[in-house]
Structure 1
Amino acid sequence: MRSYQAYGAAWMGSLLEAGFGGVLADDMGLGKTVQTLALLQARREAGVAGPALLIVPTSLLYGWQAQAAEFTPDLRLVVLHGPARADSRDEALRADLVLTTYPLLARDRDWLAGQDWPLVILDEAQTLKNPASQMAKTLREIPAKGRLALTGTPLENSLQDLWTLIDWVNPGLLGDRTRFQALFRTPIEKHGDAEAQARLNRRLRPFLLRRTKEEVASELPPKTEILERVDLPKPQQALYETVRSAMDVRVREAIASRGLAAARITVLDALLKLRQVCCDPALVKTAAARSVTESAKRARLHALVSELVAEGRRVLVFSQFVEMLRLIEADLTGAGIPTLSLTGQTRDRAEVLGAFARGDAPVFLLSLKAGGVGLTLTEADTVILYDPWWNPAVERQAMDRTHRIGQTKPVFVHRLVAAGTVEEKILDMQARKQALADALFDDKANAAEALLDEATLQDLFAPLAT
């Protein structure tokens, strides 16, 4: 293990011995899995009784099993997944590590809550960001002597994400949600209160460990981000304006009748339609859209990927829209460029990942939701983000599928953004969210202002900039 990884495993062990929980929030790609396995191996060797329960996204089951087999083969691992998982429950109670998934929590709630778990661990713990969700309620009902959370993005959207996580790890540390809102969230998010930010940081520091790649993995090759603004052709511009003006009216009416908070779903749906126009008119299911055959970003992606493959590069292409990935796949297949794809509908993820590792195709198409976390794809050296997402942490997760320990080649990240559209406004919002996240780890940083207000909405639905 690297020295910082050994320290991380020891840090988690020390907290648990003292009766506290902790959040290992190392940057993506620094080996949170290995550090956790080292902790579990140490607990086994120390004779700690009872199994640890590890809860992961379904997409990461295979990765955890593979890394446990490689690094800690002596650990007795039982996976509770699939229709016959109840048959393994007795065996699970004799194991060192029990592995299950977030979607199964509600179904297995009674059994999980009926055991006394020495340790419960959440991987990709940012999944636990809505305190009112059924998942969050179920997790609170599972008894645990110790709790650990693993996440490269402890804050995704707001400080409420952080409160939910910390309140599960160490209940009461940040007060109840109402008190946290008054003492920290409102002063920091609304007013940029540096003193409140410093108080929050001091309270969190003993229980949250974060190291960045720049600090502990300076040997990693460089990562270069390239922002490419793509001009929409006239027909696509006209479609964008048609959709924008209709959505602007719809959003204003919703806000006037129900208020900004209650109209949130309407706002997000309207923004979704604008983003679909930017990606490809084929995603927009209207008669007007069917008459628009030009797609600037799709054409640019085709040309870019053709150039990269000709240079011998291996490329990851991320989009939030599965239908968009299918259109890209058809374009590249027609051009004789082999592809693999990974989405929420992919049945055998392990086979697809193995095929890419073997070099069966130079291009890997991934949905941001299914392929943006937990994967190690250091065979690739180029990442293309086809459409920007509100949250910079989610995009960094996608980039870091390849820019992580094990990478030996310089990594290039291409962002395709439709010029003058809502996609450029999304980049501005990303910067503000990043400032809020940075402030958690830097007492001198200024907290970001509120992220969605009426002025921001006016900007998002502004006419196409030329």
Structure 2
Amino acid sequence: MFECVSGLNSAANIYGCILADDMGLGKTLQSITLLYTLLCQGFDVKPMVKKAIIVTPTSLVSNWEAEIKKWVGERVHLIALCESTRDDVVSGIDRFTGPRSPIQVLIISYETFRMHSTKFSQSESCDLLICDEAHRLKNDQTMTNQALAALSCKRRVLLSGTPMQNDLEEFFAMVNFTNPGILGDAAHFRRYYEAPIICGREPNASEEEKKLGGERSAELSGKVNQFILRRTNALLSNHLPPKIIEVVCCKLTPLQLDLYNHFIHSKNVKRAISEETKKSKILAYITALKKLCNHPKLIYDTIKSGSPGTSGFEDCIRFFPPEMFSGRSGSWTGGDGAWVELSGKMHVLARLLAHLRKRTDDRIVLVSNYTQTLDLFAQLCRERRYPYLRLDGTTSISKRQKLVNQFNDPSKDEFVFLLSSKAGGCGLNLIGGNRLVLFDPDWNPANDKQAAARVWRDGQKKRVYIYRFLSTGTIEEKVYQRQMSKEGLQKVIQQEQTDSSMAQGNLLSTEDLRDLFTFHENVRSEVHEKMNCIRCQNSNDTHRSITEGDANQPTNESGQSGHEISDIGGFAEMAGCLHELKSSEKQVGTPLEEDLSNWGHHFFPNSVPDAILQASAGEEV
């Protein structure tokens, strides 16, 4: 990393680097160490960097300022521009860029930099640029990306726990920003790298296509790993408690089934699928289905408001139980708590919270992409008198850290932390909780990974449980499949290639990904069906293999209800109450999350090594 930044690789056209460590591995501290080294050489050595700019999301400006002051004190002169008036920002930038300014480091948000980028046009205004959460630079056409690219500074360090987001083209944008031209232009990259790699990963690819795709992937990996430092959180396995990931497939309720089937068979939706239509309309339909999977209340609100998402739900008021919506003008009343049972996922969540509160002292983080869903979480907590905190896009920057500190304080009686994935997906340390529910999947797997990483971080003392809730047979399983496909692209930035024996169930054809508006009503899990799982030919064989064949051997990872398993002995012990952590317990191996063939596949909750989920599953799971 130091060699890249110092420019010693300039002969190879490498001036910058990407620190692509997973979340929780100290990218901030490593960057501060590098920054201090470059700014403050010895008395007889000229500093390699005089001016440095750190660009970060608005919510992390204060964090960076606090961390630099914590580790280097007053030895580095800095200014942080956060939540200031326009005049304060302008004067702060002028102070930093002044020819004889003593200020060495400027910490500024992406938005503020974009608005005032012309003030950094002088060639001497920056010697080192550090971009935190740099996956924001995945689109080289945005004004922010172009403003930063125009900065006259070759030494660039990008920090990202999730450098591979949606596709290789976005990855190219980040790489090209760091070291312009090293992979050719965008057209060459698409033709030479992206097309063969994607083609070779299709399930129906020929042997020649697979071979060419593998060769181009290896070549791309070799090039980018000259300046990408990639370390996974497997490094934390000796320092953190085990992490158990469980993908919980929940059936829709009768009300959700009626609404789902009515929607996907409506004339408007069929017309949108069969004809060329506006992308915004398709996205609105997708969002409507995702909200329906969370709770029918979100659809009721849409119908009542008459918003664009109403299309496809005509005549649907008749499906709703009148006692739930008997308030003034048909407003929501909740029906004395019975509203919870209108959603399969919400019903399972309510039981999970009840068992956690009664049987453990664990705290839980509930994550959703929609503030309307957070509203329902809040209502559930109020009705059942669970203490809760909430952080979403409306929470001020100054209040966020106070909420985090309150949740992490063991002396406080906090139980639930409600988190918007977009507002709090990065930079937060919520180790006060050791359970986290991803209530709805995001198209971008990095968003879910960022959110899930909030609890498995330095300082965590308990075993961590990550629950991914999916509504069976619905669009949510298709989103999850798409996540798995995107995750498979991570191999191009790994030093070693992933095992070629990875299940074909992870490689989805383009045609599969167009199949968003079909509903597989009678499957236990569409994800599992598409895997063509050899060891789960039918539910009876599955049950026998889990209760008999697997009883005396530890599992590496478990999925559909799945997990990464710790080294704690036999299955009988694992099936008990596991919230007490043994001092000798460690994470085993570094299994790839997207390789679902290596997970344990459970069709019956009583075989899942999580006593709380066993008790909470019910008929929905």
Alignment match of 1:286 (pick from 303, 307, 312):
303
Deviation track 1:279-329 (CA, whole Å, cap 9, x = no partner) reads: 011212126268255122222222212222331111111100011101111
Residues 315 and 383 in structure 1, CA contact (< 8 A), matched pair in contact too: yes
More strand, by proportion: 1
1:106 match: secondary structure: helix
Q: Residue 25 of structure 1 contacts residue 211 of structure 1 at CA under 8 Å; is this kept in 2?
A: yes
Within the alignment, does 1:134 sit opposite 2:155 as a pair?
no
User: Structure 1 residue 29: deviation in Å?
Assistant: 0.8
Residue 106 of structure 1, CA deviation: 2.5
Q: Per the alignment, do residues 229 and 455 of structure 1 end up closer, same or farther by CA in structure 2, a change over 3 Å counting?
A: closer
Q: Counterparts of 1:28-427 in structure 2 under 5 Å?
A: 28-46=23-41, 47-73=47-73, 74-81=75-82, 82-83=84-85, 84-93=88-97, 94-114=102-122, 116-192=125-201, 193-215=213-235, 217-246=237-266, 248-253=269-274, 256-257=275-276, 263-284=278-299, 285-286=302-303, 288=316, 291=320, 293=339, 294-310=342-358, 311-347=360-396, 348-359=399-410, 360=412, 361-427=414-480
The CA deviation at 1:49 is 4.6
Contact 1:340/1:365 (<8 A) preserved: yes
Distance across 2 between alignment mates of 1:280 and 1:244: 17
Q: Partner amino acid for 2:57?
A: P
Q: Deviations over 1:79-102 (max 9, x none)?
A: 123212222224434323211111
Taking the aligned partners of 1:12 and 1:397, their CA distance within structure 2 comes to 27
Q: Aligned AA for 2:470?
A: V
Provide the TM-score with structure 1 as the length reference. Answer: 0.90
The structure having more radius of gyration, on CA atoms, is 2
The answer on whether the counterparts of 1:315 and 1:380 sit within 8 Å (CA) in structure 2 is: yes
Shift of 1:15: 5.2
Distance 1:123 1:279 in 2: 32
Alpha-carbon offset, residue 210 of structure 1: 0.4
Which secondary structure state, in structure 2, belongs to the residue aligned with residue 374 of structure 1? Answer: coil
Q: Give the 3-state SS of the residue equivalent to 2:155 in structure 1.
A: strand
Q: CA deviation at 1:407?
A: 1.9
Q: Are residues 62 and 299 of structure 1, via their aligned partners in 2, closer, same or farther at CA, if it must alter by over 3 Å?
A: farther
Return the offset for 1:435.
0.8
Superposition deviation, residue 14 in structure 1: 5.0
Give 2:420's aligned amino acid.
Answer: S
Check 1:232–1:223 CA distance in 2 against 1; reply closer, same or farther (3 A cut).
Answer: same
One-letter amino acid matched to 1:279? N
Q: Cα distance, 1:444 vs. partner?
A: 4.8
Structure 2: which amino acid aligns with 1:89? I
1-structure distance, mates of 2:8, 2:426: 26
Structure 2 equivalent of residue 443 of structure 1:
497
User: Residue 145 of structure 1 aligns to a residue in which SS?
Assistant: coil
Deviations 1:247-306 (A, max 9, x none): 6414324xx336xxxx54333322111110000112121262682551222222222122
Q: Whole-Å Cα distance in 2 between the matches of residues 160 and 88 of structure 1?
A: 36
Distance 1:61 1:308, change over 3 A: farther
Flag the 1:49–1:396 CA change in 2: closer, same or farther, 3 A.
closer
Q: Is the 8 A contact 2:249 2:469 kept in 1?
A: yes
TM-score by length of 2: 0.69
Distance 1:430 1:163 in 2: 19
Please tell me the residue identity of whatever aligns with 2:519: P
Deviates more, 1:63-72 or 1:411-420: 63-72
The one-letter amino acid paired with 1:343 is: D
1:57-82 deviation digits (Å, cap 9, x = unpaired): 11212322222222221322211232
Q: Name the counterpart of 2:585.
A: none
- Counterpart Cα distance in 2 of 1:346 and 1:452: 41
Instruction: Tell me the secondary structure at the aligned position of residue 467 of structure 2.
Output: strand
User: Could you tell me whether the CA contact under 8 Å between 1:12 and 1:39 is conserved in 2?
Assistant: no
For 2:553, the equivalent position in structure 1 comes to none
Q: How far apart in 1 are the matches of 2:257 and 2:269? A: 16
Sort the Cα spacing of 1:309 and 1:60 in 2 relative to 1 into closer, same or farther, 3 A: farther
In the alignment, which residue of structure 2 is the partner of 1:5?
none
Inter-partner Cα distance in structure 2 for 1:419 and 1:429: 15
- 5+ residue gaps, structure 2, are 42-46, 202-212, 305-315, 322-338, 523-621
Task: Render the CA deviation track for 1:411-443: whole Å, top value 9, x for unaligned.
Answer: 111111112211122222221111112343133
When the two chains are superposed, the root-mean-square deviation of aligned CA atoms in Å is 2.3
Structure number with the bigger relative contact order (C-alpha 8 A, sep ≥ 6) is 1
* Gap change, CA 1:282 and 1:444, over 3 Å in 2: closer
Return the letter of the residue paired with 1:174.
L
Alpha-carbon deviation of 1:26? 0.7
